Each structure stands twice: as structure tokens, then as C-alpha cells.
Structure 1
Amino acid sequence: MTLKLQSVTACYRNRSVFTGLTLPEIPAGALVAVVGPNAVGKSTLLKSIAGLLPIAGTMTFAGENLAAMTAHHRIRRVGYLPQPLPQAIPLVAYETVFSACRSARGDWSREETELAIEEIFDTLGIRQLALRRLSEMSGGQRQMVGLAQVLVRQTPLMLLDEPTSALDLHWQLNVLNAVRDATSRTGSIALVASHDLNLALRYCDQVLVLSPGGQAVLGTPAQVLTPELLARTYGIEARIEQCSRGHPIVLADRPLSASVN
């Protein structure tokens, strides 16, 4: 079960974001950080894979053409968390997660559905939110409920657009631990767009770096993260060091002149 993109061209608001984008195959069980500066195309890429934007080229998952999937089949195969937070509606969290689960997993009994919901609320540490209305929650709490709506469906492909943007450090770690566990346990693939390079590197085994001009590099952190790439992508002078546990850390020293990009 792999994700493969070949010669993909995608546009957003009549502007070409990628032209002929081809990536190495992403294997089962991979947790991939999608990083890059603002407006480089992280959200566009995830929306394209999710089937929300038209593309030219080929996107396949487990040998299936993603663009040709019916909506019913796609919702069982692909879980997508958009960047905007879930709306502050008067429904309680349990109802919204139950509805998301039933829409994708009609083959589950009510008992199986309820068990899956309880497990994901416990995994994310949000059981106390189950009977609270989204209209009474903070943005971060609604973001956790939105993630629960994706994870509870147990799709083999997850596309998460900045899932930690509204969260403090404790909940950021909760989220990434849960996603890491899901990919390791089930062999699913997760692409996680993030602006926090070091947090992403701590949990992700591959990094997809999107650079201005539609360029993309995919590989392990050791393979793709170099001072030269960071200068070209972010316009910064930076170093890649290792923490005491051997994880890579990006240390940004200073901005470079605009001419670098």
C-alpha cells in the first residue's frame, strides 16, 4: 500500500502551484511532514490528494487512481482535516464524531462505532469534551474534535493540514503521538502539513519540503534537510544539529537577503 504522485499539475485560484510534480513512492506506515514557507502549496497539495481540487497527472493509492474514486469510496479510504477549525455549532462533540464515523463506516455495528469513538476520545485525551457543544469550546478544543472525526474513521490515508496550529505544546504532543501510533499500528500513511520544523522532525520519518517555484524534495530528514535547502526554501542561514536523543534539530541563525529566494 503506497502513495504515488506522477507528473501532477495543480492550480489554486487560477494560479499554477505545481507543474509536473513527481515524488518517490510513500510506503505504508509512513508519517510524512509537509513543510515549506507560506503560500508555497502545502494546503493545495493536500486538497489535491483529497480530491477537492482538479489535477492533471496521476495520483494513486494502493494501486487505485485517487481522482477516479467515487465520493463514497474516497471517504472510506481518505481522511482529510482542513486547516480551518471546525465551526462553533451547537452540536455536542460526540454527535459530530459519531456522524463522521457512520458516514464512512456504515459496515460497523452501532456497538463497534461507539467503541471506536470511546477509544479515540481516550487516545486524544478529550473524553471530557464528549458531551460539550462545539459552540462552547475554544479553538484548540474544536481542533481536537476535528482530528477525532478523522482518526475515528481509521482510513488508510490521512491528510492533516496544520492539525496542531491552535494547540499548546501539551496537546501538540498528544496529537502527533496519536497520529504516529495510528500509522505504526495499522500501516496507514499520514501527511501532516506543519510550520513547526522541529516538532515535525521529532515525530515524522519522512519530510516533504516544498520550495518556492513548485520545487519539492522528499526523503528522510538526514537526506533532505541541509543548510543549502533551508536557505533556498526559507531564506535563512540555519544549522541542523542533533539533540541528546539523536533527533535532528533545525537552528535558525539569521535571515538572508531576499535575493537568496
Structure 2
Amino acid sequence: MSLKLEKLTVGYRRRPVFRDLSLPAIEPGALVAVVGPNAVGKSTLLKSIAGLLSMSGRVCLSDDNLTAMPATRRVHRLGYLPQPLPQAIPLVAYETVFSACRSARGDWSRGDTEQAIEQVFETLGIRDLALRRLSEMSGGQRQMVGLAQVLVRQTPLMLLDEPTSALDLHWQLNVLNAVRNATRESGAIALVASHDLNLALRFCDQVLVLAPGGQAVMGPPAEVLTPALLARTYGVDARIETCSRGHPIVLADRPLASR
């Protein structure tokens, strides 16, 4: 199922963040890094696709127009992980993931649900958290449980807003490996907002660079990321090198006097 954004206009209090934003179709199985400087609209874009902000335009997942779809149907089509961490509530992790799964996958039997939860806890490496209360967890652990709530539903579209922000390097790699494998195995599409360019590029198939003024460029990292684009978007003098495994690496040398 491909994802298309057509003439998307969204903003706050009559201040548009994006105006008539259209993107090339994103094909099934793609992991797309959504990057850009602070306050450029990464979270706004994911929220608008999720249907959480008033907007005009069309967001289509194959033949389904998500913008015209009621929330009760949309929950079956996409999973959204917001930037704020899950609240430190007294429920245990298994209960919260079970509830998230049942709310979106009412067609599954209890056995199917329990099997899916077991698999996602194993994949993320958080089996030891299953019976712990969220109120007893660190921020990073709660972030992992929040991601489990999205992955367990197996939706064709995942919108993840900085899913590694509270995690150390080991868990960052674990999370992005899990998301990449989920997209490739099921043909799902994942949009992952991130401030860490190099971590995002290590795993992504495409990169969507959002620039001030509502501008956007999307494509393979090797084609999109250039010193000129980084200077224009981030205000830095930077180079793009290639590591020994063939992945692009952004090396920022100095800030520029002005953007």
C-alpha cells in the first residue's frame, strides 16, 4: 500500500506550517526518516497524517483517503507514537499493550493477541518489563512500551515521532532494527521523525528533509543530502562521507553565520 500526500495545508492559529505540500508516493516496505531543524514541522506533519490536526488536502493509503476516514476506522490503518513519553501510570506494561492491540485488532482472538504481544516484547528485548508498572519505569523504558503499543497492532502505516529520544545507543539500534524489520516483513510504511541524522540514515530507505518555510525534499539519502542542502536547512558547513559499510555519514564542521 503506497502513501501519498497531496496539497497538504496545516498549521496553528491561522499560521500555516505547510501549504499545498505534496510528496512522491512512498512505496510499501519503506522506512522514511523525517528530519529537519527545530520547529520546522516534523511533529506537525506526523500529527496531520494521523488525523490529529485540522488540515486541508488528501492523505491517501492506496485507495483509502485517511483524511476523510472516521477515527474508528483510521485506528486500523495507522499506528502513531507521539513525542511525549507514555505517562507513568500504575498499569503494568502487558496490560497497556494488550489494550492497544484489542482496540485496533478486534478481529483477533485472545490467543492471536497474546501471541502478537509475546512476539513484539521479544523483538524489542523488553520481556523483563512485561509485568512491571509504568510508574516504576524510566523514561526510556516507557518509550519502549509505547513503541510496543504501535508495533503490536501491525498496521500498514506507522508514524513514530522521535522514538529513540530517551534511549541509549544500544536501545536506539534495537528500536530502529525492529522498525526496519517490521516494514520489510509486512510491507508496511514507517515515517520516523528524528534529530539524529546519522542514526536515521543508517536505517532509512529514504529521507524527507523539511526546511523552514514549509519546503520539503524527499528521496534516497545519497541523492537528497548535499552540503548545499545542509547549509540551507541547518545553517552548517557540513560534508557527506561514506563509512566502510557504505552508509552515508554527515560530518558538520562549523555553524554558518546565518541561514
TM-score with structure 1 setting the length: 0.98
State whether structure 2 residue 202 is matched by structure 1 residue 202: yes
Tell me the distance in 2 between the aligned counterparts of 1:178 and 1:236: 32
Secondary structure in 1 matching 2:23: coil
Is residue 12–residue 44 contact of structure 1 (8 Å, CA) maintained in 2? no
User: Any gaps of 5 or more consecutive residues in structure 1?
Assistant: none
Per the TM alignment, residue 16 of structure 1 is displaced from its structure 2 partner at its CA by 0.9
Cα offsets for 1:85-130 (capped at 9, x unmatched):
0000000000000000000000000000000000000000000000
The answer for the alignment partner of 1:221 in structure 2 is: 221
User: Any gaps of 5 or more consecutive residues in structure 2?
Assistant: none
The answer for the alignment partner of 1:98 in structure 2 is: 98
State whether structure 2 residue 234 is matched by structure 1 residue 256: no
The answer for the alignment partner of 2:56 in structure 1 is: 56
Amino acid at match of 2:238: A
Amino acid at match of 2:82: P
Amino acid at match of 1:9: T
Tell me the distance in 2 between the aligned counterparts of 1:5 and 1:109: 34
Amino acid at match of 2:35: V
Per the TM alignment, residue 14 of structure 1 is displaced from its structure 2 partner at its CA by 3.5
The answer for the alignment partner of 1:147 in structure 2 is: 147
Is residue 3–residue 62 contact of structure 1 (8 Å, CA) maintained in 2? yes
Per the TM alignment, residue 13 of structure 1 is displaced from its structure 2 partner at its CA by 4.2
Cα offsets for 1:156-203 (capped at 9, x unmatched):
000000000000000000100000000000000000000000000000
1:145-224 alignment runs, 5 A limit: 145-224=145-224
The answer for the alignment partner of 1:22 in structure 2 is: 22
Cα offsets for 1:35-64 (capped at 9, x unmatched):
000000000000000000011111111111
Aligned length: 259
Amino acid at match of 1:177: N
Secondary structure in 2 matching 1:85: coil
Structure 1 runs (4+) greater than 6 angstroms displaced:
none
Change (3 A) 1:64 1:119: same
Is residue 4–residue 60 contact of structure 1 (8 Å, CA) maintained in 2? yes
Is residue 2–residue 28 contact of structure 1 (8 Å, CA) maintained in 2? yes
The answer for the alignment partner of 2:130 in structure 1 is: 130
Per the TM alignment, residue 71 of structure 1 is displaced from its structure 2 partner at its CA by 1.3
TM-score with structure 2 setting the length: 0.99
